Structure 1
Amino acid sequence: MNLRVEQSLSQLLHEAFVSLRTLGKRSILALLGIVIGSSSVVALINIGHNAAVDAAMIFKDMGTDTLIAQFPPKGTANVPMRTQLDLDAVRRAVPGIAHIGAIIPFSGPMVFHGRTTNANFVGITPDIPPTMRLVLREGRFLSPFDANETYGVIGDQLAQALGAPGDPLKLGDRVRINDYLFQVVGILSNQPRAMLMPVQANETLFMPADGMRRIYANPQISNVIIRAAPGEDMERVARDAAVALRTQLSDHDVEITVPQQMIDGMTRQSRTFAYLLLALGAISLVGGGVGVMNVMLMNVSERRREIGIRMALGARQRDIRNLFLLEAVTLTAVGALCGAVLGMTAAWLYAWLSGWEFALAVAALPLGVGSTLLVGLFFGIYPAVSASRLQPVEALRDE
């Protein structure tokens, strides 16, 4: 019985391919429509997925356990921010804080061996390096004992900008800022860009916060950066930290950015974007399905006499219906496979041109191929049913 079924299916597939081949250019045009539709679905799903992955990478190096506090003035008064905050009191008041530090930014020219470049100068409290995940290439970080010293830790790109062939900036060298010489005690490794961080470490010279008055008459804390302990509820830590900081400020409010909230928002936005791209691909696929239906209806019209002969020889309605339905699905399956290959290639090429790291979306191939087959099946039903309902006598009359 199984052998008979296999032979019958094999015979049907052979007849389907022969019939499609005899259609010539019409079959090829319908196939192109399916290929374009299928490749659109696969490519657009992958492009949406890669866009979401690339957006999430912005936050990866910052870490979802990091909070950024800002201090906008209350009301319309332009009151200067304080130079110091009791961060130890905040740490004691908020369980779950692993590291907390403040930054005081400034910018201006920096000179080394007659070479000048614009740089960011950031006064920091001692806990900033672990809070910002700074990594040293050589030397050491600033310590609490360096509060009144003219020491600095320089970013990788800034060190390269000040150096020259045969005269690189090295540990122990001194750079001039205004009328002061700052000794370089540490050089950072190249740090990944963290878009939410208020400063970019690669382009910065870090110095003790207490020493910022040497180069800036009115230093002000711009941000407090908090890194929570593993497993902590970031919403709770942000809420409690804001309360603790407000007790030390009378003229400024406290606004804390929670990266996880932004990631969740971007995830929802990316999902909406992916649905939009999927809808565009589905429209292309429906257009290909309409082409398949037109080809199959023309196929039925041209083979009415063949259908009548098959019925006269004992073929049942379901045999005729299955024959034409199989032809439609076969045409669609070939288009789906070709479209999957073309769609993956297009998605990879788009990611390469955009500078993204290509990542295969798990749902791309199943959705692309599966939806294409369903479209072929749906648009092949009407021609197949129409063929099965032909009366043998009327079909045999056709020349």
Structure 2
Amino acid sequence: MKEQAVIFGAGNIGRGFIGQLFSESGYEVIFVDVDQDLIAALNRDHRYHLQTVSNTGVEDYHIGPVSAVNGANSAAVAQAIAGASIAATAVGANALRFVAPNLAAGLALRSAANAGPLNIIVCENLHGAAQHLRDLTAARSSEPAARDYLANSVGFVDTVIGRMVPAPTPDMRAADVSFIKVEPYKELPVDRSGFVGTIPTISAMHAEDNFGIYTARKLYVHNCGHALLAYVGYQRGYTFSYEAMADDEIRAFMLAGLRESVDGICAEFGADPAWLYSHVDDLLLRFANRQLGDTLYRLGRDPLRKLAAEDRLTGAANLACAAGLRPRHLAWGIAAALLFAPTDDNSAQELQRQLREQGVAATIATVAGIAPENALSALVQEAYAVLRATPTALPKV
């Protein structure tokens, strides 16, 4: 029998990335989810259709063997964890609190059976996600033996997810509820220090000692580039990322902002600029993927979170400032984010309320932690005033 891998979450990243890697590595994959239609399809077919798409072609894969259990069935989830050789989460940071009780129950079964170590790859867009899940799980572990097993025999491993996986459209789901369309990019850097025991061999996974550089690259290059593209593209009325990438002014603006970010990362982490610029070159091709159909709405939604002090725009700008730079283009990106106002994005509407009631300086102090006396605040306010008057304006590069 194949070794088993348990993945909490059969959504975009669970099915669209981690499930593929575990399957390619020889594991039988068990998904934990609450989508009844998806669970039924996975248990009926024991595989699912994954398609990689790019401007150069399409490739089809059938990922299996797979099965699924309902997250509401605590006993079944615990049994799956008890028999797993490796596990992962891909549920969204806010849903980790629902994972913890079932995970704790499964680890208690492993402890009682004197099972070997278990490593859990935590694929969540949250700084310190692995420690957060460990803490949540520990709070649900009451037996001394189970707490000891958790402390000494369970690895919680941080990673950064670079693959872009837009949500399936209603038409795609109606045709095949388990179908997922993704970009071909396949790299899974993980934090070596999070593992317990032998690090398993997983397709496309590489364990890194200086993991902070990979986190910075993902947040302040990949995510930052997406944010710059989304917020200025929205101002010009574009829908898809590839449309914004085809606008020469936006492309040049985004590259200028990424240069500021790269300089800040190099100063803070001692990163090799050639390595980071190679990643930028790769992203330019990936962001222009017409077949993926990635929307600026997806890239820009929830601006309150994306403007936070350590997140993609403000965090990158702060690194640049600390390096003695004047991050004008990153400041312009922050200002454009303040104008992102889709009516169905509650975060964006809350941001607009704060701007109306508090003004720009107070809002960016509250939302982004940029104090009014900070030079960055002046840069953002200057850009915001220009964009309010001329929404399609961009700074000269």
TM-score, normalized by length of structure 2?
A: 0.18
Name which structure has the greater RCO, CA cutoff 8 Å, separation 6+: 1
Structure of larger gyration radius: 1
